[in-house]
A = this chain, B = another copy of it.
Amino acid sequence: MFSERLSRLQGSLVREILAVANQPDMISFAGGLPAPEAMPKLDFNGLPDGLSQYGPSEGEKWLREAVAAEMSKNGVPVTADNVLILTGSQQGLDLAAKLFVDHDTPVLVEAPTFLAAVQCFSLFGARFVEVGLTPNGPDLDELERKLKSEKPRFAYLIPTFQNPSGVCYDEATRQRVADLFDEHNVVLLEDEPYRELVYDQCDRAPICSRLKSAPWVHFGTFSKTAIPGLRVAYLACHPSLMPHFYKLKQAADLHTNRQGQWAMHKLLTSAEYPAHIARLRDFYHQKRDIMAAALDKHFHDLADWTVPPGGLFFWLKLKADIDSYGLLQPALDRKVAFMPGKPFYATDRVSNELRLNFSHASPDKIEEGVKTLAEVIRAHLSAA
């Protein structure tokens, strides 16, 4: 009765954990939820009646122009014609999967990578080719070898404050990755939801800005910096890909909601927006440092990690070789939620890693939650 692809349709563990994590007495390090208190105020005053009608599939021109200006400032010289407004950047993954993925299409991803991308590409039949991450970005020898041997149709990378690892590719790695993609003419899907959430100095120039010939798609969103509930995000891409994305967007939902585009544009171009971004960085920077201190105190003998220079997550590798999935229920029983490492890998494996979000919990809850989580792990280890 159903399509063949249904056998590959997975639920989202994040969403299931979030359902539990939303209980009021739970300390949640599980999701990637922005802090509500750091969100700008939405203002629909002055909304033009004209936006009630059906709108253009590519999105509103003024918003596409604002996105193009911002991307140009970041080193990717695009115009509004290269920009497509999306109903959240998850939709960009769906459209890209439709454009590129058949059954058994090789798709290169980082290991670990964003689990919703894995779900989305899986649904369309992707065969994953994984490349390991170092603190400076992907293992370049492995990347080169796999580009040659596996000939992936595209690579999906999150170079800036990678989810879940927190890694920010350094400048030399960005350049080498670009050179390799040009050499092998592999399409680059570059996802940058976290690029504005920067706390320490690091190179953030998009890799697509360094490409000479390889086709590319760049995904961006306002969900991490402004209002996720609006579902307004965007992609910019190589001109050759735009006509396809345009038609795929049309077939997916005609166009993105216009009131949300308008409200987001109003925010984005307001005089206060740069100050909002600066405050947001300070706020999350402090939370990151609070979690770093709590981890130093409670996890120094339990796990290894690097302090992420941006983004929303710590990625912990336990010193003990245990399955972190087994820690989830005991942690939830103690009212702490986190994400085990396993679902962040495109191919099946056991992981002794944990992803901890630091943006959502309050400072005192961060300390309390990290302490409790360490207790849960110690109890688990001594019971084993």
Binding site for B on A (CB under 8 A): 1-6, 9-12, 15, 31, 33-34, 36, 39, 41-42, 44, 47, 49-55, 57, 86-88, 90-91, 94, 98-102, 105, 116, 119-120, 123-124, 153, 187, 215, 223, 227-232, 244, 247-248, 250-260, 263
Contact = CB atoms under 8 A, between A and B. Distances in A.
Contact of A12 (B2, B10, B99, B250): B250
A353 to B, nearest CB: 24
A57 B54 CA distance: 23
Given A87-B253, A259-B263, 7 more contacts: A5-B102, A15-B250, A42-B259, A44-B259, A52-B228, A90-B253, A253-B253
Contacts of A101: 3
Contacts of A57: 15
Contacts of A91: 252-253
Given A88-B254, A99-B2, A102-B5, A53 B41 contact: no
B247 A259 contact: no
A255 B231 CA distance: 8
Contact of A99 (B3, B54, B100, B252): B3
A90 B257 contact: no
A338 B94 CA distance: 33
Contacts of A2: 99-100, 244
A104 to B, nearest CB: 11
A365 to B, nearest CB: 17
A248 B9 contact: yes
Contact of A231 (B5, B42, B256): B256
A119 B33 CA distance: 36
A6 B223 contact: no
A244 B90 contact: no
A266 B116 CA distance: 32
A116 B33 contact: no
Contacts of A244: 2, 6, 9
Contact of A229 (B51, B87, B102, B120): B51
B257 A257 contact: yes
Contacts of A87: 87, 231, 253, 257
A124 B87 CA distance: 21
A259 B98 CA distance: 28
B53 A228 contact: yes
A272 to B, nearest CB: 16
A1 B53 contact: no
Contacts of A228: 52-54
Contacts of A250: 11-12, 15
Nearest to A263: B259
B15 A36 contact: no
A47 B49 contact: no
A124 B5 CA distance: 11
A258 B39 CA distance: 15
B53 A259 contact: no
B123 A229 contact: no
Contacts of A10: 247
Enumerate the 5 nearest inter-chain pairs by beta-carbon distance, A residue then B residue, closest first. Answer: A44-B44, A229-B258, A231-B257, A87-B253, A91-B253
